[in-house]
Chain A
């Protein structure tokens, strides 16, 4: 009970701080924080597979990019309104996950290699199919989202929009991982063959998790394209897939806030370090190594360890 109220209090404080942020933050910070929410959501999609099901997917950028490109192309090239373009982006990214989900028939290093290869297919397609995707230049001049005459043009308005979507997603995600389905994923992470011997058709569960993960990544992609107002092949790159995985691990895999904290650390550090040090990616690497060595359960794990009073985070579901 005590543990539970602690979590509720922390969540309320975080939500209150996020709501109040536009009152104190300047446009630079607003941009950064919005970016953290979007990448945090993408990292959360990675962590459904990594932290719960034990699958290391390295093609999350594909769903993100396909959703973003679909929305951008429909808006810019064909002039479809947001009400069509945004859901179409979500559907396109999720359909790709339905297709790519057959990767769950493999395990371990084969799964990792296959997802890398699948990721390169999308990156290659958006990079080389220049007549359709704009190639290296990508798609520019994506208009702000607009529904029924209301345009979410201002930075503050879009901030609140992204925040609302992220909070709703976090609640939905919480329900999902506490459901029997979430428990089955954690069981599969523990031992897949034992779960089969308990009557679970594990491959179907992993497939479902993969598609849900693709849906969350697609949502992040649609939020991203309206925030950035343009999209280029970097969004589909292997680098993005790796970075969001690192965000989840650094922040705290297997938790909901972890991926967002990881996104904050990564993007915050990158912004800060790159202002005075050219090799900022090396700093990112060092942060990751330090995490693996001294804080294997991420920043959330460190906080749990230092939290006064009630302990035993292991005993929490």
Chain B
């Protein structure tokens, strides 16, 4: 595809803009006016304790739990009222919490699902920017341990392999924006480093990542911008360096003593 001009060149605003969203989960008022912006090829990390609304923020952007008020704009397109499959087709992929791969499908089937003719227009499957395209071979090259197990069922993989599969599956859709919900959860320190390395490589290839994490060190090591979510509102926004110095935020909202970070 020689005519694949980077469409982002014509884009005026940020890749993703979340403006004052209010999201309810059933009767509970989870996100109480949250705003953020994310530029192409950047990583924004959302930190916060359990139950503060981190996953709800991801679900709001993905259209799984649409906000009741506020506006989410992706590449100048309003996501208001858009069903999840339209948002996915527009170029937003999700790596869900808890490595939710399809356990009964093989590794190959898991990876091929996002590229099916039934999920993408041919334009979306063949488009994209050169040097940023992912396909089956490319993903297996990135995750060699999956290559050895393409015909095994997803459920037979180890936790770390399942996380690689979940990330690989998201990449197969060639997303502009990847939503990652606690990718380090339950992984060994060695695998957390691997996830860190993968996120840096994805950023280098132009993918933007909205990362939700409890692992402070991982978030600080990869993020360009950090937000701290507490009781449905951001109580901090800044660079990782700013957060490392904000002892009061670390202490009160993340439960780590500031001294440890110095």
Contact = CB atoms under 8 A, between A and B. Distances in A.
B100 to A, nearest CB: 6
B105 A187 contact: yes
A184 B88 contact: no
Interface stretch (A16-24, A139-147, A198-206): A198-206
Nearest to A202: B85
A191 B102 contact: yes
Interface in B55-87: 62, 64, 83-85
Contacts of B120: 199
B106 A198 contact: no
Interface string A195-213: 1111111100100000000
A183 B108 CA distance: 11
Nearest to B100: A194
Contacts of A198: 88, 93, 113-114, 119, 169, 173
Interface in B100-121: 100, 102-106, 109, 112-114, 116-120
Contacts of B155: 314
6 contacts: A183-B112, A183-B116, A186-B109, A199-B88, A200-B116, A315-B153
Contact of B118 (A181, A186, A196, A317): A181
A184 B105 contact: no
Most buried by A among B62, B83, B85, B169: B85
A181 B118 CA distance: 7
B89 A199 contact: yes
Given A180-B116, A198-B169, A315 B151 contact: yes
Contacts of B103: 190
A83 to B, nearest CB: 35
A193 interface: yes
When A and B form their complex, which 10 residue pairs have the shortest distance between CB atoms, in order from nearest?
Answer: A199-B119, A196-B84, A199-B88, A190-B102, A180-B116, A199-B89, A314-B153, A198-B114, A201-B85, A197-B94
B221 interface: no
B110 to A, nearest CB: 9
Contacts of B83: 196, 201
Given A180-B118, A314-B153, A193 B105 contact: no
A189 B105 CA distance: 11
Given A187-B109, A190-B104, A197-B64, 17 more contacts: A180-B118, A183-B105, A187-B113, A189-B104, A190-B103, A191-B100, A193-B84, A194-B96, A194-B100, A196-B83, A196-B85, A197-B62, A197-B85, A197-B94, A205-B118, A314-B155, A317-B106
Contact of B156 (A184, A191, A205, A314): A314
Contacts of B94: 197
Contacts of B156: 314-315
- Residue among A181, A193, A202 with the highest chain B CB neighbour number at 10 A: A193
A183 B116 CA distance: 9
A199 B173 contact: yes
Contacts of B96: 194, 197
B136 to A, nearest CB: 14
A197 B89 CA distance: 9
B133 interface: no
Given A180-B117, A205-B118, A314-B153, A196 B88 contact: yes
B200 interface: no
Contact of A193 (B64, B104, B116, B117): B64
Contacts of A191: 100, 102
Contacts of A314: 104, 153, 155-156
Nearest to B94: A197
A93 B96 CA distance: 41
A187 B100 CA distance: 12
B203 interface: no
A202 B119 CA distance: 10
B118 A200 contact: yes
Interface string A154-193: 0000000000000000000000000011011011011101
B152 interface: yes
A317 B113 contact: no
B105 A186 contact: yes
A273 to B, nearest CB: 35
B114 to A, nearest CB: 5
Contacts of A315: 106, 151-153, 156
Contacts of A186: 102, 104-105, 109
A282 to B, nearest CB: 34
Nearest to A313: B153
Contacts of B62: 197
Contacts of A197: 62, 64, 84-85, 88, 93-94, 96
A143 B102 CA distance: 50
Contacts of A317: 106, 109
Nearest to B104: A190
Contacts of A202: 85
B67 to A, nearest CB: 17
